[in-house]
Structure 1
Amino acid sequence: MSASAFLPAAVNFRPLMFKLNVSSKFVRHCRRHQRFSTSRSLNADSYEVVVVGGGAGGASLSNIFARKSKSVAVIEPNPEHYYQPLWTLVGAGIMNFGKSARPMAAVLPKRATWVKDKVAEFNPKDNTVTTEGGKQIKYEYLIVGPGIQLNYNQIKGLPEAFETPGVGSNYSKLYVGKTTEALQRFNGGDALFTFPNTPIKCAGAPQKIMYLADALWTKNGVRSKSQLHYNTSLGVIFGVKKYADVLTEITRQRNLNVNFKRNLIEVKPDTQEAVFEILDSSETPKETVTAHYDFLHVVPPMSAPDCVRNNKDIVDAAGWLDVDKDTLQHKKFANIFGIGDCTNLPTSKTAAAVACQIGIVKRNLLQVMAGDKPTSVYNGYTSCPIVTGNQKCIFAEFDYNAQPMETFPFNQAKERRSMYIMKKDIIPYVYFHVMLKGYWEGPGIIRKMFRLGMA
């Protein structure tokens, strides 16, 4: 409960400080809540903290600030919350889709107001957001975390091609089942796996499904008459050399073809062909190559949601929420913080990254609310458990500098069954039962324990 609940409308803070030896920071905290309490009673659509998005970051932070602030609103249109890292296993037929879902009402705090709508417009100069339904919501502090937008329609022939055999995508609840069906029906031939020419969430997922398909088709007896091709827009198979070296060797041993600098631009379902532009081509327009497919896993181009990228006041030149990479505070508006996939943080967009960002936003926003400057610094930690086959996983962890930042006291670049169990069972449990409630800020404490407190 805030301090203002115990204070009368007009408090003389000077004698109170003298008698109780209250710090000046506490006084500023009380005054701020006192002002907010007055304005809150006059405007039902005004809140101290507004959280945009009910995903991993939004749900976790709304639970935290529902316990720490006077009033919280969460703007989220979806009735269900999904733990999307499980969709690789769902697409491979290993897990049931329902295991990844919870009712949104079960993960958002009961003490918060849930606005079941989408944000249409941010008005940071007025400290308001406007929803698609026309509601204007005022805030003192804003947390922006609506996630990332999937742009299937930027690939010619999509999303229509998902209605034809052999085409799927683990990145959407609409199409992850198509992946499962296509994998099961595959009887050999050409299998294509793609990585688009944009930042994406979970950058390891495009190749995880290839390793799982390889394992499944080996088990089903069709691998020997199949050719698997990983067409990536990147110039490397993975951004951290330690893990890239191991993954390169795995693709070599398993006869998985990797083609760099290839970006999917069109799907032709009638002829079962995929068209890729060659990104390092010197021609204008760029040279293309067409490949036949019997199975195609599509990873769409992605961007910040339209409501974010269309507001030039809050985004960088590329359309991502423009926040300080250390503090996660907006570079222009001090009462706005960003979290997760919609931001321009130079690290991989994963749930593990969000977990660490939660603690940074929590501490820094509380400091700003108390009238101080934010001091907590995010090191760019992120994690990508790369499932490489039947109950095998490489557990990649790294920082802003693409340097390994491993938690466990063994080489995590080695394929291990223990790390597969961590990915499949332990992390989802922590996510639903600890992180979303606001009590998990990443494995930093565990890492220190394994290293006896040493760096």
Structure 2
Amino acid sequence: MHIKQLTADLAVSGQIAPTDMTEIVGAGFKAIICNRPDGEAGDQPSFHEVAQQATAAGLEMRYLPVTPGQLAEEQAAAFDRLLEELPGPVLAYCRSGMRSVSLWGLSQAGRLSPDDILARATAAGYDLSALLRRIAQAGAAPFAVADSSHEVVIVGGGAAGISVAASLLARQPGLDIAIIDPADVHYYQPGWTLVGGGVFQATQTARVMGALIPRGVHWIKSAVAGFAPERNAVLLEGCRVVKYGQLVVCPGLKLDWEAIEGLTDTLGRNGVTSNYRYDLAPYTWELVQRFKGGTALFTQPPMPIKCAGAPQKAMYLSCDAWRRAGVLAQSRVQFHSAGAVLFGVADYVPALMEYVRAYGIGLHFAETLTAVDGARRIATFSVSAPGGTSQRRQVPFDMLHVVPPQSAPDFIRSSPLADAAGWIEVDQATLQHRRFANIFGLGDAANTPNAKTAAAARKQAPVVAHNVLFNLGRQAGQARYDGYGSCPLTVERGKIVLAEFNYGGRLAPSFPAWLLDGRRPSRLAWLLKERLLPPLYWKGMLKGHEWLAQPEMVG
């Protein structure tokens, strides 16, 4: 947490944590304003989690969320009213502090001169020049003036975005590329399952973003607000505009924790956890170790979600730990899935069912978690019935592992790039946008019907890199993506069912069956997951090395 003073009564910062309250109180603050919507990132505590600790520390707290780049005068006016109502001094925060500073700057238009607003923001480390230009040119088209321009712009610095940049540079050194991403930290999210299983430490899954951006690539550390494909422009938080020749969009998914009533009030305590968040995966392992018997629930929301096997992985690793600790016999383990089957590719189900029976897991399909009462330890499910009807069912628990509903980020769903369901609309083979020829989409937010996994992004990135250069006239022919996805299902500590498949659920093994039959639990697959895949990710995929991922050409 880096607090930066704007005025005598207002300071701003990036994301704060519930554990920061002692420092905030010690700095003399009396109130906090949260300007960041929940669910923007996998390491983000919810407003409710922060507010609970703020209230306990004697601080007043308010929620005024601003979607990046969608700052409105009404929100600035509401921010101004909060500053008048709340006891000062006040600390306002968002992801980086930029939205909070922008709210203040817009609220001061007409009170302070543009030079004064700009000077105070600059002194705090924020550039409001684009916002003030918009204020001065009220009514002007938001994309009229570009702050920068690049041959290739990539939205998203996750596995897909960095891999595309690295693959582009491997093919065309010196290409003018920019990556837009506001995050300070890059996460190896496939490792969070092993954090929750006590195999990895959380810190093993995190790297500083700046160290991973390929050398020579411009890093624009900002959030995207919107797109103007007819102008080849991207609008950023703070009203900055970036122009592009070719655009690659891969921002990942939004985790909608708020969609489950009461969940954010109890995450990280009362036995409620999730491996889908960096700071909660260690709590999963803490709960597993403390568990001495009782009811443990594991949930899976409606598809699509990132890594459809992850909800089960958490369950199998927990059961294995309880079996080793001698408490499995005293445990009632239940899997509640909104889907109709255990796993979408039938070839892998028999091996998984052997573990379901061995662990004594109760399977409950067509059940969607809708509410959590952490204090009473009761989970409420909507149970689908024939004929389209549903009923509510309440289940007491001692431990609850939750996977939240997921969707494309808001700035994608509301953009001209989205299909009717809100996903980036691309051709499933070339990954080129169906309506805008110089735009490509890949990763979790694309509407391709493949599993949303890092393994899929590893195969997609070289395809996009090749096809971007084809558009630029620097490669011959187009490449195609066959829908490959992989899900290493950790059925016990030391063994994995390695699911690999293409579009339509067709098996796509990377190894001959005599060496590794993915349909059976394997020690070799575990070694691949634990020992080989992390360095393959950090030192191969993110560096532009396309081992076992060379793109296939359109025939």
State the TM-score, normalized to the length of structure 1. Answer: 0.85
Mapped to 1, the partners of 2:146 and 2:166 lie a distance apart of 23
CA distance in 2, matches of 1:208, 1:98: 20
- Structure 1 372/390 Cα, relative in aligned 2: closer, same or farther at 3 Å? closer
Tell me which amino acid in the other structure corresponds to 2:518: Q
CA offset digits 1:189-228 (Å, max 9, x no partner): 0000000013100111100011100011112221111010
The match for 2:410 is: 306
From 469, 472, 480, the equivalent of 1:366 is 469
Where does the alignment leave 5 or more consecutive residues of structure 1 unmatched? 1-41, 449-455
Match among 522, 530, 545 for residue 424 of structure 1: 530
Q: Residues 345-396 of structure 1, C-alpha deviation per residue, up to 9 Å, x if partnerless? A: 1010001111110121111111111188963221101100101002010111
Partner residue, 1:396: 499
2:195 aligned residue: 90
- SS at structure 1 position matched to 2:464: helix
Question: In the alignment, does 2:538 pair up with 1:435?
Answer: no
Q: How many residues align?
A: 403
Q: CA offsets per residue over residues 12-47 of structure 1, 9 Å max, x none?
A: xxxxxxxxxxxxxxxxxxxxxxxxxxxxxx966011
Deviation at 1:426, TM superposition (A): 0.2
Q: CA deviation at 1:70?
A: 3.5
Q: What residue number does 1:19 align with? A: none
Contact (CA 8 Å) 1:123, 1:129: kept in 2 or not?
Answer: yes
Instruction: Give the whole-Å Cα distance in 2 for the aligned partners of 1:438 and 1:444.
Output: 11
CA RMSD after TM alignment: 1.9
Q: Which residue number corresponds to residue 346 of structure 2?
A: 241
2:382 is matched with: 277
Please give the residue correspondences for 1:127-146 in structure 2 after superposition, counting only pairs within 5 Å: 127-146=232-251
Task: Output the CA distance in 1 between the equivalents of 2:412 and 2:547.
Answer: 25
In structure 2, do the counterparts of structure 1 residues 145 and 74 end up closer, same or farther at CA, with 3 Å as the change threshold? same
Could you tell me how far apart the structure 2 residues matched to 1:371 and 1:97 are?
Answer: 41
Distance in 2 between residues matched to 1:177 and 1:394, nearest whole Å: 24
Q: Quickly say closer, same or farther: Cα 1:441–1:145, change in 2 above 3 A.
A: farther
Other structure's SS at 1:141 match: strand
Give the corresponding residue for 1:71.
176
- C-alpha contact (below 8 Å) 1:169/1:297 kept by paired residues: yes
Distance 2:429 2:478 in 1: 9
Deviations 1:100-128 (A, max 9, x none): 11111111012111111111111111111
Contact 1:168 1:177 in 2 (8 A): no
Q: Quote how far apart the aligned CAs of 1:290 are.
A: 0.9
CA 1:343–1:280 in 2, change beyond 3 Å: closer, same or farther? farther
Change (3 A) 1:324 1:225: same
SS in 2 for 1:271: coil
Residue 290 in structure 1 maps to residue 394 in structure 2: yes
Which amino acid letter does the alignment assign opposite residue 265 of structure 2?
A: E
Answer whether contact 1:165 1:182 (CA < 8 A) is retained: no
Match of 1:213 in 2: 318
Inter-CA distance 441–341: structure 2 relative to 1 (3 Å threshold): farther
Give the superposition deviation at 1:48.
0.6
Q: Where does 1:232-271 land on structure 2 (aligned, <5 Å)?
A: 232-271=337-376
Give the SS at the match of 1:87: helix
CA change 1:371–1:333 in 2 (3 A) is: farther
Residue 172 of structure 1: aligned partner:
277
> Residue by residue, what CA displacement relative to the aligned partner does 1:48-91 show, whole Å, maximum 9, x if unpaired?
10000100110111223345254111101111111100100001
Spell out, residue by residue over 1:293-339, the C-alpha distance to the aligned partner (whole angstroms, 9 max, x if none).
1010000000011111111x111111010000010000000000011
1:379 and 1:94, CA in 2 relative to 1: closer, same or farther beyond 3 A? same
Deviation at 1:443, TM superposition (A): 5.1
Residue 162 of structure 1 aligns to a residue whose secondary structure is coil
Q: Report the equivalent of 2:422.
A: 319
What is the TM-score with the length of structure 2 in the denominator?
Answer: 0.70
Per-residue deviation, 1:156 = 0.3
1:47 aligns with 2:153: no
In terms of mean alpha carbon deviation, does 266-275 or 61-70 score higher? 61-70
Letter of the structure 1 residue corresponding to residue 404 of structure 2: P
Match of 2:23 in 1: none
Q: Which sections of structure 2, spanning at least 5 residues, go unmatched?
A: 1-144
